[in-house]
Amino acid sequence: EPPQSIGSYPEIGLNEARQRRHDARVLLAHGVDPNEERKRLEKAKILEKSSTLRVVALEFIEKKRKDGFSQKTLYKMAWFFSLVEKDLGDQALNDLMPYEILQAIRKVEENGHYETANRIRGFIARVFRYGVLTGRAATNPAAELGEALIKPKVRHHAAIIDPSAFGQLLRDIDNYGGYIGTRLALRLAPHVFVRPGELRSAEWTDVDRDNSVWKIPSEKMKMREPHSVPLSRQSLAIINEAHVRFGNYKLVFPARKSWRKPMSDATLNKALRTMGYRNEDMVSHGFRSTASTLLNESRLWAPETIELALSHVDDSVRGIYQRSQFWDERVEMAQWWSDYLDHLRAGIDILSPKQFAQRRRKVAPRPIEPTTGYSSNVTMTVRFPGQNYG
């Protein structure tokens, strides 16, 4: 029997020493080395201390920071955790039961914050998934809890989809008397219909004015996938106007008070409020909804092309192939859309998207972005511009 250390007297009393000796003999009888078992238990204690929800959640948020997630996203993650930290933060992942997580989330839900409650559940599930991958959790008890929470009503971004009313909005933007950077950003937004954060963070190094392409790097995109935006003649004219004023700066649309910073989240929406558009009428994110609705109504463009233009990412092999193959159609669609916006802005004999498509099926060709880096060893049917999809 190998020698065993069971502690020092008087810290370890006689009765406890005898108990430890007995435990060691039981382990030996089962073929377990007491010294190795003691080391295993010590490691388990260390692992348990590094496996609390607080430790793993903060580690997960830090990883996302290093992955390049925006400060806004990181703040939201930290906020979600703060709402359940008191109830769950000190418990090890493997000790947390589904009902305990549900009970903590329901405290938020009981205040009527259904969407927040569901997003907290999603965040905790991601933390547990990270814990499983790093060996600190065996299961993900938060994964299926969504069925036990009240589903929030889907709230779409307020958007104007009536052609005549949207034309009036375009004219109001042209006449906006506030900061020139805000006016230029609002003028460009309808043409490119990117997310407001992507518009506000645009840098001159991202814009290839010679080839009429705006290449947004992955770290600025919601889905962390790079996205290219074809620039119509109208879009390029607005960008060139911005370059005259802000070309010496890093940002295409710098903040009014500091050219080193982008304009704030609220700037574009505040400008819309100043023009008389209520929050339930139109928000800056609504330009995407307007473009999606009216482009689909035209029945001129493939739904896949519109989805790609909105950077709704398809990570399948087919999706990667489409990002290459549908570029030509996206270029043509961008110019058609800008021409239609000019028609709406003029406000004379307004045509619906489908009527305008029937009159203006073809537009002048424009530069095509190189498609290197995409897989082409896939066979699929590609629908071409000008084909009616109705």
Asked if 114 is an active-site residue, the reply is no
Crossing angle between the packed helical segments 233-246 and 327-346, to the nearest 10 degrees: 80
CA distance 315 to 302: 19
Catalytic residue selected from 187, 195, 220, 366: 195
CA distance 193 to 195: 7
The per-residue pLDDT for range 275-307, each reduced to its tens digit, is 999 988 999 999 999 999 999 999 999 888 899
Asked if 285 is an active-site residue, the reply is yes
CA distance 226 to 251: 18
Please count the other Cβ atoms lying within 10 Å of the Cβ belonging to residue 11: 7
Confidence grade of residue 317 (pLDDT, cut at 50, 70, 90): very low
Catalytic residue selected from 227, 285, 323, 366: 285
Residue 96's pLDDT is what? 92
Confidence grade of residue 32 (pLDDT, cut at 50, 70, 90): low
Q: Could you state, in order of their start, the residue ranges of all structural domains in the chain?
A: 14-50, 54-134, 163-362
Helix (H) or strand (E) run with residue 216 in it: strand 213-216
Identify which has the larger pLDDT, 141 or 24: 141
The per-residue pLDDT for range 113-171, each reduced to its tens digit, is 888 999 999 999 999 999 999 988 999 999 989 889 988 765 667 899 999 999 999 99
Does the pLDDT at position 182 exceed 50? yes
Phi/psi for 285 (5° steps) reads: -70, -20
Amino acid sitting at position 204: W
Asked if 222 is an active-site residue, the reply is yes
- What is the topology classification, in CATH, of domain 54-134? DNA polymerase; domain 1 (1.10.150)
Asked if 243 is an active-site residue, the reply is no
Catalytic residue selected from 130, 187, 227, 321: 321
Catalytic residue selected from 107, 222, 354, 383: 222
Residue 271's alpha-carbon distances to 41, 84, 174, 254, 265, in angstroms, are: 62, 36, 12, 15, 11
Residue 51's alpha-carbon distances to 29, 132, 347, in angstroms, are: 32, 10, 62
pTM of structure = 0.62
Write the DSSP string, 179-197. Answer: -HHHHHHHHHHHHH---HH
The per-residue pLDDT for range 332-345, each reduced to its tens digit, is 999 999 999 999 99
Cβ(333)–Cβ(353) under 8 Å? no
Residue 386's pLDDT is what? 45
Identify which has the larger pLDDT, 360 or 287: 287
Confidence grade of residue 322 (pLDDT, cut at 50, 70, 90): very low
Asked if 75 is an active-site residue, the reply is no
Q: What is the CATH number of domain 163-362?
A: 1.10.443.10
- Cβ contacts of 136 within 8 Å, gap of 6 or more: 47, 50, 51, 56, 92, 93, 94
Write the DSSP string, 235-259. Answer: HHHHHHHHHHHHTTSSBSSB-SS-T
Q: What is the mean pLDDT of residues 13-22?
A: 61
The backbone region for 140, taken as left when phi is positive above 0, alpha when psi lies in -120 to 50, beta otherwise, is beta
Catalytic residue selected from 312, 360, 361, 383: 312
Catalytic residue selected from 119, 121, 288, 323: 288
